[in-house]
Structure 1
């Protein structure tokens, strides 16, 4: 017998880290080089199957703009988990993701989350060294992804989805 669960998941990160591109790659298997700024939030859904379970991830792609911080907090309410997204080519976006984690954790408590280091296709340009990445991985699940090539995207979302399954 299959069980069905529906879970709200928020994507958090600085502007331009690839939150929208990751969602579109995961949900629709598409990538566009055209940059689209998210204003407020964009919502997509995706069904994932795990053995005898099915989960519907309701993905809230939140704006990365600092001036929307108050709105972002209201969008976080009711989230069962979140993806922190950083751009490996911009170290400052990791710091932004960590700050957003503290904000989300204060509001949501200890819910499942993963850290996504996006733009793995540009690994040669990363400002994040291996030691820093290992330090992050000691704190939570870390996935290197590329919305452009699709590498690691499915794995990151599936790992979070698995953590959100009813126990």
Structure 2
């Protein structure tokens, strides 16, 4: 703190600003603060939309042959009652499907037109990933199974797009004979 002594009673604040806040992001640039405010103002609307889209996509995918769907609000889910009770009918924006094989999972992912392949979640666009070959690549088979990740698993982070477009895109990908 010796180097900050010249700032008197503000010495600790200057230390925070010059060290922790600068490195950890506690002092936002004005544009970043503005964008955060804009994002917070629409967060409720976006969450309503992604939860609704995820549920409707899960329902549509569940009707298709050749894939199994994991989403807590589906009546077929072992977590259905718990999700209804604790989540107030909002199952979140993430669902997973199993395609039957790793090769089919890749073909399905590559057939999608509107969806981006990315590891992050919670974006406004729908994103897919093959977790077994990306984020779980260094996990043991036991750890992957415990997390519900298999060679044929596809994780979908549903966005705010028009649900009809998403359902059509996924339906075509699932029903595609593959190249």
More strand by share: 1
Bigger fraction of residues in helix: 2
Larger radius of gyration: 2
TM-score (normalizing by structure 1): 0.29
TM-score of the superposed pair, with normalisation by structure 2: 0.28
The structure, 1 or 2, with the larger RCO (C-alpha pairs under 8 Å, 6+ apart) is 1
